[in-house]
Chain A
């Protein structure tokens, strides 16, 4: 499986660490809503098809990426930073690095 890191370009999956389901919504830190916490920590959709996932390019730039991966075909339809490194990525793209 190849993941195209917006910094580094297409890289093999062994450079990445799966950091969990991207659909999880963390309750506010002070929230006492145990059901919401339980859902965040344990409940997963496990869809057959497109799935939002968080991957870290741990063997590369170490950025966390929001990846949409098809669980049936492993096709990756979108990769984006979880936080704003967009300017750097745009520059890399303009310079033809990725």
Chain B
């Protein structure tokens, strides 16, 4: 027999039928179903294959802690793997597939791994693949060979390659009280805080508010718990000061009571509504936090506890009461505590036969005996389940007498026919968030659980109040009382004497027997998702892994996507027994964020897609209108080429660069960082910041400057213009504009606060156009008024002011291209106006607009450095800029730049390379002295930038090469195995073109 839908009951909408597919087969369910409940209702018991052994697995739980029933959900081309079927709400058209099976779920080749169980035991990877190569079957090289096969056989879902097209949002929220969890404790806390006038956020990771009230058989204030919860949530909805967040998992607890949450806004919908994001990442700052996160039921560890049909007791109760699904017809239970008896009775009432309640405890209370009688169940006290039978579904169990004091089994095994076995190994409070907040959990021997610590042990920056099962108070009546008290206290209220809601519940002792494992023959699973057995834990102990942190890493216990929500405590208990120590002395691992899986898209949110910030230069629209292919550089968009129809990128930049060297070219340089450095001490400050002198610079002149970091390595370069005695305009590279600004501010604020200097970022205030080439001066002369631009008025590195087309401009004669060139700056708002005037004036002279590719080509030809060479590892000497290191003054980095390692002869130095096979060179390629595939030579350097040089008619590159200066004139090879490009090159000076600068000096 298989699971089925009950005739009545549950919180599903039986009038609404929903169609979905699982592994290609069509199924139906009802609104309110999860994928797990809907598949169970269809009689499906096999949900997936286990990680290592490919054992058939069903569904173990009904919630976020599910380790077994992981599926991949497909939306168009996008696949999302490793989602718990218990957390997927079905919708029309939902397409889900099972994982880790080949070729199909029911018939899986790798299930043979089960027979070779020893091979994949604890530490298998370490033992087999780490360490020195002894013999043929060892070492990391062997791992690289085997990896492909093992990854295919052992694993979880496969990630897709299609781009995620969904939208994500980030939301900042503030509140007085954040209540995490909406069971009876959370609902009471939210209400109490809201009544005090506090701004409240109530988050619930499930779609429905109410937690256990949605499926327990208890009544609250005379009505079914689910009705009471629905009413309480409905009332909260009417409060202006309450925000309800369903489907929202609070996954991180950070300083200053900042909590991170993931709201799954549209995962349960066929398609998102207009403007709706898929997920919303909430950053919630709460004055106080109420943790009402409940508890997780624990599995028991015994042979065959992973067979499909074996499930947690409360999960089955929930399937019956909340989803109207019976997970079996003949149900047996196996427990060490009283809560399973309530589950048994609930399933009996829903229509199942309870064939046995196997309890490890020798004596049962009269209340439990009565509950067993009421469920018409055979009560087997002092017994344990020692085996399960069946294949892809359970057919029966074997039980034996059990002595819980010494763990001994005695007497004959008895078989009991059952199609479903429910287990309960006690309950563990969900203390993850408190643990993230720095709290050290405390072992409670009565509850056999780690409880959150007392509030006095909390970190001052992360304060919370606990309520309900989270604190170890497992009854609903306690949850209600603690919830109200917590809500009041969190809101700073003093309390109202109003009567608490009255709970009617079945009796039960919250304390389980201290039994976690039944030791008998067969595989007993502790961590279902990572296939870690009790024997693996003991093996790790025998091999000397006695710290819980080491045990965890060696066996991978609790390191799967469920993060051991169901396995941590049983694993720890087995470890403690092996060590002969009590559990609290073995300790527990600390939980870290996230509590459960978080979509990467939500974390990136506004940083990509249509919400990403963009920086556009004043002339951006002109570039686009004139055929530029735009290139994204940081946040900036810059023209790469202005391509003609049918041109390749290389053809376009070669044409642009050639035209510039033959007549003239113009390029947008507005993205350069620009910093106004002003004040009585500005010149002296620049002397400290730059390696060369600026105090000697005349007003109306500019100078090229180099900055070092404190450790003596090169930092940034650019020109600085002296506009007045106390007024400088510094330019930086585009990429380092922000860093240089912070660098200057740091030194003024922290190191030299006595200096009277003010720095202001003016990058966005100026538009800049660089016009260069043999005809550049003539073009400028044709459109400028108010100043001459000849050699006398505007010498190299001189600055003049004038007007172009009526707009004031500032012009500096400096060159990056190596041509006679001028940088024309105007107010940003006039950028396009001035640019167009220059273009018009240039028409008779053959002026072309050029992009970053041509700019890069001309700078490579000149051997100028950029961020590719100033890469944080090079010194001024490495880049042949030692002529800029003043000996007359100290400057930032001067004391450290001459350290032994920074002047060693073996350092990488800037050189030029010429391709000798007339083939393009490739960026990032290594340089080697000789090519030998079988016995690769050591790299002596790498290419930083490359291009086709129209000026030389060759493929050239800049490179950093070991002892490069001494190698000029010699040959080497580039080696780029990734792109399969190998070839001979000649090492030359980095100054390929016009080395004496006659063109720019004119």
- Chain A residues within 8 Å of B, Cβ to Cβ: 1-2, 12-13, 17, 19, 26-27, 29-32, 34, 37-38, 40-41, 54, 56, 58, 62-64, 73-75, 82-84
Contact = CB atoms under 8 A, between A and B. Distances in A.
Contact of A41 (B285, B753, B896): B896
Contacts of A62: 745
Given A1-B256, A29-B890, A41-B711, A84 B742 contact: no
A56 B745 contact: yes
B438 interface: yes
A34 B753 contact: no
A56 B750 CA distance: 10
Given A1-B254, A74-B461, A83-B749, A29 B688 contact: yes
Interface in B886-922: 890-891, 894-896, 899
Interface of B: 254-256, 258, 285, 438, 459-461, 688, 710-711, 742, 745-746, 748-751, 753, 890-891, 894-896, 899
Given A56-B742, A62-B745, 7 more contacts: A19-B746, A29-B688, A30-B890, A56-B746, A63-B749, A73-B461, A75-B460
Contacts of B711: 41
A-B pairs with lowest CB-CB distance, top 9: A83-B753, A64-B749, A1-B255, A74-B255, A29-B890, A2-B256, A73-B459, A30-B890, A37-B895
Contacts of A13: 255
A73 B460 contact: yes
B38 to A, nearest CB: 42
B460 A54 contact: no
Contacts of B438: 73
Nearest to B687: A29
Contacts of B749: 56, 63-64, 82-83
A84 B254 CA distance: 32
A62 B742 CA distance: 9
- What is the interface of chain A mostly: helix, strand, loop, or mixed? loop
Nearest to A66: B750
A34 B894 CA distance: 11
Contacts of A34: 895-896, 899
A27 B893 CA distance: 12
A75 B751 contact: no
Contacts of B256: 1-2, 74
8 contacts: A13-B255, A17-B742, A26-B751, A29-B890, A41-B711, A56-B745, A73-B461, A83-B753
A84 B749 CA distance: 9
Nearest to B460: A75
Contacts of A73: 438, 459-461
The residue among B710, B750, B890, B894 with the most chain A CB atoms within 10 A of its own CB is B750
B358 to A, nearest CB: 47
Contacts of A56: 742, 745-746, 749
Nearest to B896: A37
Contacts of B891: 29
The residue among B688, B746, B749, B894 with the most chain A CB atoms within 10 A of its own CB is B749
Contacts of B894: 29
Given A29-B688, A73-B438, A73-B461, A19 B895 contact: no
A64 B459 CA distance: 27
Contacts of A17: 742
Nearest to A83: B753
B742 A19 contact: yes
Nearest to A10: B256
Contacts of B746: 19, 54, 56, 64
Nearest to B892: A29
Nearest to B743: A19
B459 A54 contact: no
A40 B438 CA distance: 33
A30 B742 CA distance: 23
A83 B745 CA distance: 11
A75 B461 contact: yes
A53 B746 CA distance: 13
Contacts of A82: 749-750, 753
Nearest to B761: A62
B745 A64 contact: yes
Contacts of A58: 742
A64 B750 contact: yes
A32 B460 CA distance: 45
